[in-house]
Chain A
Amino acid sequence: MVTPLETKHISKSYGNERVLSDINLSLNSNETLSILGRSGCGKTTLLKVLGGLESPDGGTVFVNQTDIQTLQPQDRDVVYLYQEALLFPHLTVFENIAFGLRLRKIDEKKVSKRTHTMIRKLQLNGMADRMPDQLSGGQKQRVSFGRALITNPSVLLLDEPFGNLDAYTRSNMQELFKQIANDLTITAVFVTHNVKEAILMGDRIGSISEGGLTIYPSVEAFVESEKNGVQEEIEFWQSIDKNTN
């Protein structure tokens, strides 16, 4: 079975500061790996290295068991999604979603069919002709997902994609993402600093601390670990619970 994403001994430093140290990971098809970590711990740097937007000091990245280290970002078949939706303000919802297909010069009929299917999946019916400034934050993020998913990339990299959304919209988007990731058999790395979100979104969970990545064998192992702040969070909610009862 082909491994969609694998890294071996990735390291990266900025000046004297070591941000990533000997990072090894391997993802199965249709698997989402949540990576948790404090701000500035190197989560975004890791995603950028995987996407080809930053060069590592050492190590190798494999996509579908091919070494992609020397490939440009546009040739990696790895899409990077930012916290902001970053929709193109001069294009409609339809054209934003169809953007990747247009770059690949896909036949117009196929573009129309695939884009309308994606619009339905994203529950954006009737919004195809709207401009980005006519959408809410959640709708913009859905369009951003659609634009990333329509080309069916080998790996999707998500850098705190729901960070700017309110709690209700965030919860809806988490459900929607899980559903679409299953439908389209998406393999993804999901970076967040929210413990609950990491547990909800990931099939496996990892955390970055002092440049090193720890991938836990199960959710239980993750919860029991003292490194990632889960225990503090549990204690906090238990103390709230005690005080209110």
Chain B
Amino acid sequence: MTSTVNIKSFWAKVLAATFIFPVAYLLVLSLAESWLFPELFPVSFTAERWSTLFSTNSELFNSLLLSLVVAVMVAFISTLSGFYTSKQLAYHRKRKLWMRLSYFPFVLSPVIYAAVLYYYFIELNLAGNIGGVILGHILIAYPYSVILFSGFWGNRTQRIEQLVQTLGGNRWQTYKHVFLPLAQGLLLICFFQTFLISWFEYGLTTIIGVGKVQTLTLKVFQYINEANFYNAALASSLLILPPIILLYFNKKYLFQKRW
């Protein structure tokens, strides 16, 4: 019995280490003054890169803020509009057709999808600006949100809605007192997932943003192309920070069933 527990504990630690190691490695690399082969560890450390991050006009800090604004906007709009749209589709007589169409953006790779839509973004004066990038990300995150919520609107939810109506509840009260609390866990998961879709989006941002909208993901690739590994490690450390924070706050919904 004790040996079984020990083996489980050992493998749990190995698994945890495989997740923690890349994060720790990036953090150490971002703090290394110089770390050259065949040195096992950096010879010396510096906090200069991290301190310049918070100085005025830091490009990386601006990219961090830009990415946060884009991802939060995309997650917020996609989650709420997807929640509402999925309800309309669930009770629509052509439900199956609409649901099939909502898978369309995932048939193409985001880069090809962006290239196909690029003409319209130019026509609408949305190429090369933050509004265009947000709209581009929403075009992927919104159908994802619709698909995620489609399972929520079943016959039982419809009966609950009708019950609330006969108890005297209007549409807003039904959402406020019943639908939103019932879907609370799913809403948070959707916000988290759509945030990540936007946060890590590269191909579509490159095409729609025309290189002018420098999100953090684009910065990481830029530093890698320049062979600037220390800055790439710093940008990567920043890139994984928000998902870790969101994962921490979402863990009870991701790993536990509330009701």
- The residues of A with any CB-CB pair to B shorter than 8 Å are 51-53, 72-74, 76, 78-82, 84, 86, 88-90, 99-100, 102-104, 131, 133, 147-148, 151, 157
Q: Find chain A residues with CB under 8 A from B178 CB.
A: 88
Taken together as a complex, chains A and B put the C-alpha atoms of A99 and B178 apart, in Å, by 10
Interface flags, B152-170, vs A, CB<8A=1, else 0: 0000100110110111111
Q: Which of B168, B169, B177, B182 lies in contact with A89, CB distance below 8 A?
A: B182
Cβ A86 vs Cβ B165 within 8 A: no
Select from chain A the residue with minimum beta-carbon distance to B169. Answer: A103
Contacts A/B (CB < 8 Å), 23 sampled: A51-B166, A72-B170, A73-B166, A74-B165, A74-B167, A74-B169, A80-B163, A82-B159, A82-B163, A86-B159, A86-B160, A88-B177, A88-B178, A88-B182, A100-B167, A100-B168, A103-B167, A103-B173, A103-B177, A131-B259, A151-B167, A151-B168, A157-B166
Residues of B within 8 A of A81 (CB): 163
Nearest CB of A to B88, in Å: 18
Q: Apart from A78-B166, A147-B167, what are 14 other A-B pairs with CB-CB below 8 Å?
A: A51-B162, A52-B166, A53-B165, A74-B167, A74-B168, A74-B170, A79-B166, A88-B160, A88-B178, A88-B182, A99-B177, A100-B167, A102-B177, A148-B167
Nearest to B158 among chain A residues (CB) is A53
Interface flags for B178-190 (1: CB within 8 Å of A; 0: not) read 1001101000000
Decide yes or no: A90 and B162 within 8 Å by CB, A74-B169, A102-B177, A147-B167 being known contacts.
Answer: no
Assess A84 versus B177: contact at CB under 8 Å? Given A103-B169, A131-B259: no
The CB with the most chain B CB atoms within 10 A, among A88, A148, A157, is that of A88
Please, how many residues of chain B have a CB less than 8 angstroms from a CB on the other chain? 18
Q: Does more than half of chain B's interface fall in helix, strand or loop, or is it mixed?
A: helix
Inter-chain contacts of A84 with B (CB < 8 A) = 156, 159
> Measured between C-beta atoms, what is the minimum distance from B159 to chain A in Å?
6
User: Which of the listed residues A78, A89, A90, A151 has the most CB atoms from chain B within 10 Å of its own CB?
Assistant: A90
Min C-beta distance of B105 to chain A, whole Å: 33
Nearest CB in chain B to that of A78: its residue = B166
Q: In the bound complex, how far is the Cα of B167 from the Cα of A99, in angstroms? A: 8
Least CB distance from B167 to A in Å reads 5
Give the complex CA separation of A52 and B162 in angstroms: 9
A156 nearest in chain B by CB position: B166
Q: By CB atoms of chain B within 10 A, which of A72, A79, A103, A157 has the most?
A: A103
Contacts A86-B159, A102-B177, A103-B173: A76 and B166 contacting too (C-beta < 8 A)?
yes
- Closest residue of B by beta carbon distance from A157: B166
Most chain A C-beta atoms within 10 Å of own C-beta, residue among B166, B170, B182: B166
- Per the bound structure, the CA–CA distance linking A133 and B259 in Å amounts to 8
CA distance A88 to B167 in the complex (A): 13
Bound-complex Cα distance A51 to B167 (A): 10
Are B181 and A90 in touch, CB under 8 angstroms?
yes
**What's the minimum C-beta distance from A129 to chain B, rounded to whole angstroms?**
15
Question: Which residues on B sit within 8 Å (CB–CB) of A74?
Answer: 165-170
Residues of B within 8 A of A78 (CB): 166
**Chain B min CB distance to A16 (Å):** 18
Q: Which residue of A lies closest to B163 (CB)?
A: A86
| B162 proximity list for chain A (CB < 8 A) | 51, 53, 73, 80
Closest to A91 in B: B181
